[in-house]
Amino acid sequence: MNFDPRKRFSDRVENYVKYRPHYPEELLDFMKAECGLDQSSVIADIGSGTGISSELFLKNG
């Protein structure tokens, strides 16, 4: 059994990125309404992994 995570997961990255669902655009509407998020807000995406949520935030300012 291989316990080295780099070897265990390296060949799965492409499928993860391809099939991992993205966050819906409505997430931003929710964050605006519930958290007061606006264009001047600063967000820290801790543990962003592949950056799927970061991409959503960057596209929307």
Contact by Cβ (8 Å): 50, 20: yes
Q: What is the pTM of this model?
A: 0.57
Each residue's pLDDT tens digit, 13-35: 788 878 888 888 898 899 999 99
pLDDT tens, position by position, 45-55:
888 677 888 88
Cα distance between residue 41 and residue 39, in whole Å = 6
